[in-house]
Amino acid sequence: MIFSHTKSLNDLYVYFWRWAIWKVFEVNTGPAVVSMITSSSWLTGAGFLGLRRLVREVADQITIIDLGGAGRGARKEENVFDIQTPVAIVTLTRKGGSDRSVPAAARYLRVSGSRQEKLSALQEQAAGTAQATWTPLHSDWYAPLSPPAGDEDWQTYVAVADLLPWQQPGCSWGRTFPIAPQAEVLEERWRRFVSTADVKDREGLYAAANSGRNVHTKVGGQIPLANEPTGASGLPLVRYGYRSFDRQWAFSDPRFATLERPSLWWSVSPKQVFLTSMMTNPLGHGPAATVTAFVPDFHHFCGRGGKDVIALYRDAAGTPNVDPAALRLLGNKLGLTITVEQLFAYTFGVLAGADYTERFHEALETPGPRVPLTADPELFRRMVAHGEELIWLQTFGERFREGELPTAGITWNPKPSRLPEAKTDIKYDSATAALRVADGVLTGVPEQAWAFAVSGMGVMPKWLGYRMAKPTGKAASSKSSLDKIRPTTWSSEWSTELVEIVAAIKETVALVPAGIALLDEIVTGPLVAADELPPVPDALRQPPKAAKVAAGQEGFTFDDGMLPGTHEGGLF
């Protein structure tokens, strides 16, 4: 079981499946049939390994008609119901007695199109007139109940999770007020929180969920928030990777977080880089990965998250997030001494600096990006250089290279003096390459930069949306009045940051044609196949254990009683 996915098991349809299997297949020992249309997430989801094994144990035959219908995410499709969750019809059958030592045979059919087209296809199936081709599925006990996407070449590419094995979810706060685009806003929210000793007031401000932490929870060695003295001094603040290309601020205090992910905070250093992607959900158009120099949010990549964060290093000391045996083997094959930094840059260059999501669109229907790993040392060097430049751009000049971002030609005239009040206060003019933000105008904004999106999330519109007078997203419906404490004026820092974002995206887009040509050379040249690399030790896939530090070191404690370091990134 993957802990980050266990919340999916709370969906009611999972209970229906488990009860039906027990009632029909386990209470009885003879012939049995269960057929239901439910959410299809259990067919491939990482949290449903046990359910997939169970159905393979109790049934002789599993028949899946996948109707799709995702109304959210990167790949939207019309649903047969008026819902946004993709669905599938799954039928389990058993002809006679049960032999749980033999996995059931399984077959799969994907039905696409409009709602009416899907219903018509189902009618044809019922009438026996359908001409559809069924796909037999793998008999592995835990394998997804859907066919692997992509052609044979795709299956030989190396999974990103095997190249850089420690991957995990980003930081999850469970509330929006501990994050803000302006440090002063967080300072004001903290002052309001400790302005009174009234515990009921603090409970209302904290807006705790029905389970998990609340103001009475003792996290490590820290006192509960309910016991903080009135007027307590301000909390340390830390830069935070909130969304792709969006640097915000956060409280450096795990008491406000639902799941703070200690290993991520412990790994922060002046050299650390975090790559985010969609490792457990299908990727949409745009780059398949982005990077940040700061601990990323659970939803950093495109506003939807999973087990999607991959760090360059496993700790602040710089322990590589790679299997040393794989690195040595790869170096021997290429005749090079390869570092984790080079492998990380190569991977990012492939994912973010070419036409990756368009080229492998069909294969990426099955979550989990793969990388064609060249066996040509010159192509490897070139893709490394390509990735290094992209990382430098997307960390705004803070990682992998020295120098300032090329911002020439991107200028404010004038700078905004107030916050945008509504979406109509933000307007892009492609004819003049100008972006109006309230009463300010930013010139030199290419149309490709304004339209730049990450799996359906428009980067610049999303960034501006978090800096409007009225809250957006979950903050707009927050139960905590702390979310009503917001910026009152446009920040000069934002003016600088928006120029940097435009520059980073502009240069990223300009590099893509060269990246496409380079990827063409790689996929048509000699490759290192996935099965040539040694199996990744399970220990390298686990989050590194944060080491305890000497007594008296300044910092906050986690729920495991450990103190974080004071390196760059805050005291979290």
Lowest mean pLDDT, pick from 2-11, 108-117, 350-359, 396-405:
2-11
Last residue in a domain, options 113, 147, 181: 147
Q: How large is the average pLDDT for residues 379-406?
A: 95
pLDDT (0 to 100) of residue 566: 35
Distance CA 497, CA 503 (A): 10
Distance CA 164, CA 420 (A): 41
Distance CA 402, CA 57 (A): 57
pLDDT category at 553 given cuts 50, 70, 90 is very low
pLDDT (0 to 100) of residue 132: 83
pLDDT (0 to 100) of residue 540: 94
Report the mean per-residue pLDDT for the chain: 88
Distance CA 347, CA 341 (A): 10
Both tokens assigned to 467: 């800096």
Q: How large is the average pLDDT for residues 535-550?
A: 78
230 assigned to some structural domain: no
pLDDT category at 563 given cuts 50, 70, 90 is very low
Distance CA 313, CA 327 (A): 14
Both tokens assigned to 365: 């229907």
480 assigned to some structural domain: yes
Adjacent-strand bridge partners of 311: 274
37 assigned to some structural domain: yes
Residues contacting 69, CB < 8 A, separation 6+: 77, 78, 79, 80, 81, 83, 84, 85, 86, 87
Candidate ranges 146-155, 211-220, 495-504; pick with highest mean pLDDT: 495-504
SS3 465: helix
Overall domain count for the chain: 2
Q: How large is the average pLDDT for residues 57-64?
A: 94
Lowest mean pLDDT, pick from 81-85, 146-150, 172-176:
146-150
Q: Could you tell me where the beta strands, DSSP code E, fall in 103-232? A: 105-110, 135-136, 158-159, 167-168, 179-180
35 assigned to some structural domain: yes
pLDDT (0 to 100) of residue 207: 85
pLDDT at 523 over 70: yes
244 assigned to some structural domain: no
433 assigned to some structural domain: yes
Last residue in a domain, options 507, 535, 556: 507
Residue 436 Cα distances to 299, 461, 491, 499, angstroms: 28, 12, 16, 13
Distance CA 445, CA 433 (A): 5
**Segments forming the whole domain that contains residue 459:** 411-507
Distance CA 20, CA 17 (A): 5
**457 with 303: CB under 8 angstroms?**
yes
The pTM of this model reads: 0.79
pLDDT (0 to 100) of residue 72: 66
Cα–Cα nearest to 267, from 212, 319, 322, 211? 319
Residues contacting 58, CB < 8 A, separation 6+: 21, 25, 26, 32, 92, 94, 98, 100, 104
Q: SS3 for 404-438, per residue?
A: CCCCCCCEECCCCCCCCCCHHHEEEECCCCEEEEC
- Percent over 90 (pLDDT), the chain: 66
120 assigned to some structural domain: yes
**157 with 373: CB under 8 angstroms?**
yes
CA dihedral of 22, 24, 30, 34, whole degrees rounded to 10 = -120
Whether residue 287 is preceded by a cis peptide bond, meaning omega within 30 degrees of 0, is no
Residue pLDDT, tens place only, 279-334: 888 888 999 999 999 999 999 999 988 788 999 999 999 999 999 999 999 999 99
Residue with token string 């669905």: 87
Last residue in a domain, options 459, 489, 507: 507
Distance CA 11, CA 293 (A): 35
**373 with 326: CB under 8 angstroms?**
no
**60 with 93: CB under 8 angstroms?**
yes
Residue pLDDT, tens place only, 64-99: 999 988 766 656 778 889 887 889 999 999 998 778
Q: How large is the average pLDDT for residues 390-401?
A: 95
65 assigned to some structural domain: yes
